[in-house]
Amino acid sequence: MLTTEQKPLEQLLEYLDREKSVFLIGCRGCAEGCHTGGEQEVLDMKQRLEEAGKTITGTSLIDFMCNESLVRMTLQAHEDAILSAESLLALCCGIGVQATSSVVDKIVHPGCNTVSMGGRHGEWREGERCMECGDCVLEFTGGICPIARCSKMLLNGPCGGSSDGKCEVSPDVPCAWQLIIERLTKLGRLDKLERIVAPKDWSVSLMSGAASKR
């Protein structure tokens, strides 16, 4: 069970500040169990965003958003509604946001913070993509996690050691920051990187010992 908490509505409205239309996604897996992204929460979020003046072009519930193939297949049925939205809002764990970002060429806003994997991990087949940090930053990194995928867990840009797109610490893996910058460039949203990120507060993660183990 991946434990998630919904981000405050004020924060989500800041994410959606420039946008009028959004497609909403929930997860019938752990997020439904946590009451952060099941059917009821998607309906509640739809109502709250509409009250805030947003247009919801459509909604979808995916059985397990950590499964990239399932996300791709399910969202194909909503192609028109997704195309007509400026962005997507995902009520699920960090892995679900990343899986969705990998199959949709639009910004996918994280609607939740992942605070613990509860000892289990998602379905992503290329290794762990979420460190359960409790304050998800995928909003600013194009849906690519700098905590799980950058060897130095850098939050304010690359270290400068990347070579040919590979990480200087682990030359067999892509530099996460190269991927982030390429993704945000493609989406025309490099402005997402203009803010300075404060040092991470790991106390908001139920797995707060994780950072010290790296």
- The minimum distance between CB 135 and ligand SF4, in angstroms, equals 7
C-alpha count within 13 angstroms, C-beta hemisphere, residue 144: 21
Is 94 a residue that touches ligand SF4 (CB under 6 A)? Answer: yes
Is 92 a residue that touches ligand SF4 (CB under 6 A)? Answer: no
| Run of H or E residues at 109 | strand 108-110
Residues contacting residue 198 through CB under 8 Å, at least 6 positions apart: none
Q: Which residue from 25, 82, 138, 207 is in contact with ligand SF4, where contact means CB under 6 A?
A: 138
The binding track of 42-81 with respect to ligand SF4, each residue x by CB under 6 A or -, is ----------------------------------------
Residues contacting residue 40 through CB under 8 Å, at least 6 positions apart: none
- The minimum distance between CB 148 and ligand SF4, in angstroms, equals 5
C-alpha 89 chain-centroid distance:
9
Is 11 a residue that touches ligand SF4 (CB under 6 A)? Answer: no
Is 169 a residue that touches ligand SF4 (CB under 6 A)? Answer: yes
Residue 108 tokens read as 């996918």
Residues contacting residue 209 through CB under 8 Å, at least 6 positions apart: none
Give the interface size with ligand SF4 as a residue count (CB under 6 A). 27
C-alpha 114 chain-centroid distance:
10
CA distance 96 to 143: 10
- The minimum distance between CB 134 and ligand SF4, in angstroms, equals 7
Q: Which residue from 42, 92, 117, 131 is in contact with ligand SF4, where contact means CB under 6 A?
A: 131
Subset of residues 104 to 123 that bind ligand SF4, contact rule: CB under 6 A: 113-114
Instruction: Tell me if 166 sits within 8 A of 172, measured CB to CB.
Output: yes
Report the interface residues with ligand SF4, using CB under 6 A: 94, 113-114, 130-133, 136-138, 145, 147-148, 150-152, 154, 158-159, 161-162, 167-169, 175-177
